[in-house]
Amino acid sequence: MVAELREYLNCIRDNLRIDRLSEREVTIELENHIEDRLQELKSAGFSEEEAASICVRLLGSAKLVARKIYEAHSQGSWRQVLLTSMPHILFGLLFTLNWLQGIGWLLIMLVLVLGMVIYGWWHGKPSWLFPWLGYSLLPVVIAGLLLLYLPRGWSWVTIVLYIPLALWLVCSVVVQTIKKDWLYFPLMLFPVPIIISWLMTVGQGKIYPDFSLERFYNFAPWIGLSFMALAITAAVFIRLRQRWLKAAVLLLLEIIILTMIACADGELSLIAFASLILVFICLFLTPVFLERKIKYYRQHYIV
Give the burial string for 2-25 (b: 16+ CB within 10 Å, else e): beebeebbeebeebbbbbeeebee
Give the separation between CA 226 and CA 228, rounded to whole angstroms: 5
- pLDDT of 80 strictly over 70: yes
Burial of 79 (0-12, 13-18, 19+ CB in 10 A): exposed
42-59 pLDDT per residue, tens: 888 888 888 888 888 888
Residue percentage of the chain with pLDDT more than 90? 16
Higher pLDDT, 235 or 20: 235
Which one, of 79, 55, 81, 73, lies nearest residue 19 by Cα?
A: 73
Answer for the pair 30, 1: CB distance below 8 angstroms, yes or no.
Answer: no
Burial of 47 (0-12, 13-18, 19+ CB in 10 A): exposed
208: number of Cβ within 10 Å = 5
Mean pLDDT of the region 282-290? 79
Mean pLDDT of the region 190-194? 84
Confidence band, pLDDT 50/70/90 cuts, at residue 295: low
16 Cβ partners below 8 Å, 6+ apart?
23, 26, 66, 69, 70
The pLDDT mean for the chain works out to 81
pLDDT at 303: 46
Lowest model confidence (mean pLDDT) among 203-207, 213-217, 237-241 = 203-207
pLDDT at 207: 43
Which one, of 184, 288, 177, lies nearest residue 238 by Cα?
A: 184
Q: How far is CA 183 from CA 235, 250, 255, in A?
A: 14, 9, 17
- pLDDT of 86 strictly over 90: yes
Confidence band, pLDDT 50/70/90 cuts, at residue 152: low
208: left (phi over 0), alpha (psi -120 to 50) or beta: beta
